[in-house]
Amino acid sequence: MSSIKVGLGEADRIVVRGARVFDPQVGLDRVTDILIEDGVISSIGDLSPSQQAQVISGKGWLVVPGLYDMHVHLREPGQEHKETVRTGCAAAMAGGFTGVACMPNTDPPIDSPGVVRFIREQATGLPVEVYPVGCVTKGRAGKTLADMAELAVEGVTAFSDDGAPVATAGLMRRALEYAAKSGAVIVEHAEEPSLTSGGVMHESAASTRFGLPGWPAVGEEICIARDIALAEYTGGRLHIAHVSTAGSVALIREAKRRGIAVTAEVTPHHLTLTCELLSTYDSDYKVNPPLRESRDSEALLEGLLDGTIDAIATDHAPHARDEKEVELISAPFGMLGLETALGVILTKFVQTNRLPLERLIDAMTVQPRRIMGLPPVRIEPGARANLTLIAPNEDWVVDRSQQSSKSINTPFHGWELRGRAKGVILGQQYYLA
């Protein structure tokens, strides 16, 4: 695996030359140069070759607003054998992300200001901004609410018990009410445990053929229905993580039609992989919520296209090799995503004209930041530099042994992709692959 220091740098003046600069937010789409001075975009246009700066040749590349992943697991503190904040940030840089939101199922969980500060400090000096998501309940135990006001003072803008749903309707009601006071959002892992306990894959004809315990679609949908009703009742902001079923898309679409404050995300793996892959009993395909059927994947894409689903997020979930290389039923849920997300979406959907490039940028940078209550990122003079550099026509093969993550549990190993991140720029800091 590559070193985090390879390609890292810092410069007072950076010039990106001859790239296609694309930012639909400001109507920008042309081949040009970008000059960054002291971390701020000072000009966009043809520049003199005499400019004294760190020069990045962008010929044939695409420059877009920095990608943001609103759902990752960095595992630190407490599970550093799987991932650390720094190795997770290395994976983010390799995947073209300049910002990530890390989920609170750490040890200790992110339910105190001290843990929030610790995580942020670990990313110091890297061109990736890390935004910890706070717990909804103390210790993620599902008993009493965490001190959400104290976490909000620390800058936390989203709360979740991810890895598990908010345990009861009463707790979810109070969480939505408390979060509304600071404008925060509740990010829900939608699952009804009484329906999903023991399940390892989507409940279907395939699970019967493979002899594996099923995890039914209704186990997700019933929780979403509950939470939408509570969001409507309280006026709080609800975000549904990793939507996986056609029924869930329909519920969210109807809620939006009625003006309820609900948003949603989808993962690259739920868009591209199906439950039939579990025929190999390969635990890299074991994820929560599980891979579903092709009709679900099609409904997810339709929801992404029509705006029912707002964002694309990876649910990057690293696990140590010895944890995954066991019997499928005993293996933990989760797969990697940061380093492959952009390439998978470009290859499967943008290159095939199933998803406009503009919608990709909207779903991977604009909407996730909006949902998280963060300032927008735009490519315009006077804005802080926050850029992703992409080689849209570069062919490459996913190789788990060459990843920057500390873990290797990718389901995309061996996939041939077209389009990959070549670097990021955040202020004066940059990373080039």
Using DSSP, state whether 219 is helix, strand or coil: helix
- Write the DSSP symbol of residue 145: B
- Write the DSSP symbol of residue 9: E
Token pair for residue 356?
Answer: 């406009």
Token pair for residue 8?
Answer: 């890292």
What type of residue sits at position 42?
A: S
CA distance 126 to 78: 21
What type of residue sits at position 61?
A: W
CA distance 112 to 151: 7
- Give how far Cα 150 sits from Cα of 155, 156, 181, Å: 9, 9, 12
Q: What are phi and psi of 93, to 5 degrees?
A: -60, -45
**DSSP calls for 185-216:** EEEE----HHHHTT--EE-SHHHHHHT--EE-
CA distance 213 to 199: 5
Closest CA to 234 of 188, 175, 184: 175
Token pair for residue 80?
Answer: 């550093």
Q: Is 315 a catalytic residue?
A: yes
CA distance 257 to 411: 35
CA distance 209 to 281: 12
- Write the DSSP symbol of residue 368: H
Which is it for strands 237-240 and 429-432: parallel, antiparallel or unpaired?
Answer: unpaired
- The alpha carbon dihedral of 388, 394, 396, 402 has a sign of negative
Q: Which of 315, 322, 362, 395 is catalytic?
A: 315
C-alpha neighbours within 13 Å on the C-beta side of residue 282: 14
- Give how far Cα 68 sits from Cα of 8, 219, 281, 372, 376, Å: 19, 29, 32, 10, 11
CA distance 35 to 46: 9
Q: Which are the catalytic amino acids?
A: 315
